[in-house]
Chain A
Amino acid sequence: MEKQLITRGLLAGALAGLVAFCFARIFAEPVIDKAIAYENGRDAAQAALNTAAGLPIDPAGPDLFSRTVQSNIGIGVGLIGFGAAMGALYSVVYLLCLGRVGRIQPKVLALLVAGAGLAGIYLVPYLKYPANPPAIGHPETIKPRAALYLTMVVCSLAFILAATWLGRRLAPRFGNWNATLLSVLGFAVAIGIVMAILPSLGELSANVHAYGHHATETPLPLTDPKGNIVYPGFPADVLFSFRFYSICNQLILWGTLALIFGPLAERVLRPVMERAEATGGAGSGVTAAAV
């Protein structure tokens, strides 16, 4: 049964990635192109300022793949690969949740596990460190930024696990509804403390040293030595669109995953459940748990 569920999870994840790719190609890519156009214009303005001041010009980043490859094949491979990876991890969590989180219908459990995955892997870390388009993010801070982001991912996943356990412990005393509310509250307090402790990206020491105190790394207007603005700050509408489509993309990915996997899992589980019920739970490798 684990083989059937995990292969179906992988397949559903890859399909979800494909759907997310279609969305991203149509809606997100034009925004990414605007962000890259901003970045190129800003680099040119910076180079002109540096030349005028007799300073060396920063070398451009590597162009290993053309924009055409990146924005068609690259993003497709990335999203389908991410979808397949999430499908594999998701099916393992689904498998381990069976019978351990109460009496939940297979399709409902598929939605709940996908919701937990969306929140733990993306949405909760996003609250502290939202997705950024190209042009935002200083190369010199990639190490602390990656470490902080992964810290948020690990903490939110661990706290979701703890909240699920807590909810199961509280359910006999407070009932399902109140136990769920209490464990969600516990999760919010715990992740809130972590978010309060972790620094904002703009407050990383390399950024404070180079740019002063700011909340984020979003580029501010570029000024010449006299203080005149020679290139604007990052356009707010482009930033909003990118972050909005980033959320839509993950909602589509996890939603598609759950909606494809749920019915498939039900078809796998239904005969096994009926057999386990008929034989009083003495199935091979599968046992009926007392709730």
Chain B
Amino acid sequence: MSTMPVSSPAPTSVPTPLVVSATKARLWIGGALLFGLLAYYFIGVDQGAVSVFGSDMHIHEFVHDSRHLLGFPCH
């Protein structure tokens, strides 16, 4: 028993850290950020304090319940 060699962990059990270059992935990263921030803005912020479509309230009233539940200030 004591002579049994201690097996080192298989190399694939520890993930090799990968670094994705932000410049190479800029199109996908930029697109995802743009979509995410726009959706966050229209669901949570627009037609309250600031409004890109003037005094219209359709988006605000449509997602009204989720806006409250997600913790955004409302009315």
Contacts and interface: CB of A to CB of B under 8 A. Distances in A.
Given A74-B64, A78-B65, A78-B67, A92 B75 contact: no
Contact of B66 (A61, A79, A104, A129): A79
Interface string B1-38: 00000000001101111111110110011011101111
B40 A82 contact: yes
B70 to A, nearest CB: 6
Contacts of A84: 35, 39
A81 B46 CA distance: 14
A150 interface: yes
A245 interface: yes
A77 B18 contact: no
B15 A249 contact: no
A135 to B, nearest CB: 9
A77 B16 CA distance: 39
B29 A2 contact: yes
A145 interface: yes
A99 B14 CA distance: 12
Range class of the A interface residue count: 35 or more
A132 B49 contact: no
Contact of A143 (B15, B37, B49, B69): B49
A92 B39 contact: no
Nearest to B44: A82
B25 A82 contact: no
Contacts of B29: 2, 6, 92, 95-96
Interface residues of B, number: 48
Interface in A54-69: 61-65, 69
A273 B10 CA distance: 14
Nearest to B49: A146
Interface string A232-262: 0000000000100110011000000000000
Interface string A102-133: 11111000000000000000100110011111
A281 B16 contact: yes
B70 A250 contact: yes
A145 B40 contact: no
Interface string A146-172: 110110000000000000000000000
Contact of B20 (A1, A139, A249, A288): A1
Given A81-B39, A82-B40, A24 B57 contact: no
A89 B44 CA distance: 15
A273 B18 contact: yes
- A-B residue pairs, 3 tightest by C-beta: A78-B66, A99-B17, A85-B39
Given A69-B62, A74-B62, 9 more contacts: A10-B32, A32-B65, A74-B64, A100-B19, A105-B15, A125-B71, A132-B68, A145-B73, A149-B73
12 contacts: A3-B28, A73-B62, A77-B66, A82-B43, A89-B32, A89-B36, A137-B73, A146-B48, A147-B49, A245-B69, A249-B69, A269-B18
